[in-house]
Amino acid sequence: MKKTAYLDGHVNCEGVSRRSCLQLGLGAFIGGGLVNALRLRALAASEGEPAVKPARCILVWLDGGPTHYETFDPKPDAPREIRGEYETIPTGIAGVRFSKHMKHLARITDKLAIIRSIRHDHGNHGAGNHYMMTGAPTRIPVSCGAFVSFHPSLGSVTARERGAPRGLPAYFSLGSMSRSGGPNFLGARYAPFVVKSDPNQPAFRVRDVALPKGLDGSRFSSRQEIRREVDRFLRIQDETAGDPVAAYDEYFLQGHNLVTSAQAQEAFDIHRESPSTRDRYGRDSFGQRALLSRRLIEAGVPFVTIYDGGWDHHTNIFKSLDSKLPPRDRALAALIQDLDQRGLLDSTMVICLGEFGRTPKINDRGGRDHWSNAMSVLFAGGNTPGGQVVGATDRKGYSASRRILSPENFASTIYRKLGIDPGKILYTPEGRPVPLVSDPSPIRELMG
C-alpha cells in the first residue's frame, strides 16, 4: 500500500495524510490564529465557566499504538516469537520488570502507576484513537484511517470546564492534533491551540505569540494607536445588538496583550531554560516539547497534549524502537522528576499511551500488528499513588486477565482528577443530552 506522509511526517499503516484530515472538516479546528481562539474563548466565558481546580494534565500521545511488550509489560518467559529480542530490567517495584530501554522510568517507579489491563474492541487507528481520546466508542464502524469525532475529546472538555488564566488557550497540542482530539459539538472555541513548530530549533517561535518579522515593537504600538483613534467613532447605535467591531477589538486587544506580555512571552520562551535542564530532557523534538509542556503547566494551562507519531510498527519494530524508546524514556522521566522538584507533580498528571497495544506474535516482517485486547498506560502525578501496577495480562500478553478496565474507566479517572464530574450530561446545540462518560467509574487504585 502506498504510504503518504501526514501530520508530523510519520505515517500509520493506512497512510492517511493531513490533507485528508482537512477534507473531513477539521481544518477549522486546526487552523485559525490565537486571536480567533481568544475570541471564541471569550464567548465561552460569557456562558459561565466553573472555578479553576488545581489538577492539570499532560497527555503524551504515542500515535499508532505502542507495544506493551517492549515497554511496560514484557514477557521474558514466553517463547521468543512472543517475547521478542529485548532483555528486561528490574524496577523499584518488587517483581515488576520493564523492557530494557525503559531504564530511566524504571528508576522512578515510586512515582508511577502502570496500568496493564485496559482493553477494548476497537482495533483500528480511527476507532481506537477516538475511544481512548474521548472515553466514548465510535457510533458506527469506521475505517482504520478515519479522522473521526463523535464525542468531545478529553482536552476539549477540560477547556470548556476549566478555562485558563491570563487569556491563554486552555488546551494545547504540541506537534499536531491527534485525529480525535477535537471538540465535536462543543464547537471550535474548545479546539486545541496547535504548536507545530519545533522547540528544539534555535529559531523556535509560536505562531501568533510573537511579532511578525519586519514589525518592531514601536511600529506595532503605532498601529494600535491608529486602531484606538478609529475606535472613537460611533459605529453602531443599537445597544441591544452590540457592536461586533468593538467585540473584535477586544479580542485583538487580548492578542496584543499576549504578544506584549512578559508573562506570556516567558511561558513560550524555552530558551530561558538552562542548558543543563534542556540537556536533561533531551535535545530533540520530543524532549523539548516535554519541557515546553511543563512551562505551559506552570503558566496555568490545564491540558496539554504532546503528540508523537510513528508508533505503528508493522515492520522492523526492534530497529525502530532502538532509536525511539531511549529518548522518550529519558524525556518522560525528566518531566516527572522536574515537576516533582518544582512542587507541581501532585497537581499535574502525566499520562502516556496510544490507541492500543501490539500483537503477541512477531509477524514475518519483524513487526507487531494492532492489538486492542491489551495495552499499557503510564500514569504519574495528580495525587496518584505511585509504586504500583494495576491489573495484569496473561502470561503471554494476549489479553487483560486481572482487573480488566475500559477506556471509560480511564477517561473518568482523568476527569475526576481534573475536578470534572464524569457523570455530567452535556447538551448538543440541538439540545440532545449526551453523557460525558457512559460509565463514570474511575480506576480506584489511582485515586489518592
**Per-residue pLDDT reduced to its tens digit, 156-181:** 999 999 987 777 889 999 999 999 99
Residue 12 has pLDDT above 90, yes or no: no
- Cα pseudo-dihedral 360, 363, 366, 372, rounded to 10: -40
Q: Distance between CA atoms of 51 and 94, rounded to whole angstroms? A: 41
Tell me what percent of the residues of the chain surpass a pLDDT of 70: 75
What's the angle, vertex CA 185, arms to CA 184 and CA 188, rounded to 5? 70
Cα–Cα distance, 120 to 405 (Å, whole number): 9
148: cell is 473521526
Q: What is the mean pLDDT of the chain?
A: 83
Asked which of 57-61, 149-153, 199-203, 215-219 is least confident by mean pLDDT, the reply is 215-219
CA–CA gap between residue 80 and residue 362 (Å, rounded)? 9
Residue 211 pLDDT > 60, yes or no?
no
3-class DSSP assignment, residue 435: strand
Distance from C-alpha of 65 to C-alpha of 72, rounded to nearest angstrom: 14
Q: What is the pLDDT of residue 259?
A: 59
> H-helix or E-strand containing 61?
strand 56-62
pLDDT confidence of residue 164 = 78
The model's pLDDT over 96-134, given as tens digits with 9 standing for 90+, comes to 999 999 999 999 999 999 999 999 999 999 999 999 999
Joined grid coordinates for residue 204: 523556535
Query: Do the beta carbons of residue 145 and residue 18 sit within 8 Å?
Result: no
Which pLDDT value is given to residue 261? 52
pLDDT of residue 373 exceeding 60, the answer is yes
Residue 422 predicted with pLDDT over 90 = yes
Q: Is the dihedral of CA 232, 236, 242, 243 positive or negative?
A: negative
Alpha helices in 311-422 (DSSP H): 317-341, 407-417
Q: What is the per-residue pLDDT across 13-71, written as a single tens digit (0 to 9) for each?
A: 766 544 444 333 343 344 445 555 555 444 444 444 444 346 899 999 999 999 999 99
Residue 400 has which C-alpha cell? 487483560
Q: Is 285 helix (H, G, I), strand (E, B) or coil?
A: helix
With 90 as the cut, is the pLDDT of residue 249 above it?
Answer: no
Task: Read off the pLDDT of residues 220-242 as tens digits, 9 standing for 90 and up.
Answer: 455 555 445 444 444 434 333 33
Mean pLDDT of 294-320: 97
What pLDDT does 148 receive?
A: 82
pLDDT of 294:
97
The rounded distance, in Å, linking the Cα atoms of 325 and 263 is 34
Give, as one character, the DSSP assignment of residue 278.
H
- Which of 1-5, 193-197, 235-239, 263-267 ranks highest by mean pLDDT? 193-197
Query: Per-residue pLDDT for 350 more than 80?
Result: yes
Q: Would you say residue 319 has pLDDT above 50?
A: yes
Position 286 confidence tier, pLDDT thresholds 50, 70, 90? very high
pTM summary value: 0.82
pLDDT at 264 > cutoff 70: no
Q: For residues 155 and 171, is the Cβ–Cβ distance under 8 A?
A: yes
DSSP string, 89-136: EE-SSTT-EEETT-HHHHTTGGGEEEE--B--S--SHHHHHHHHHHSS
Class in CATH terms, 18-446: alpha beta
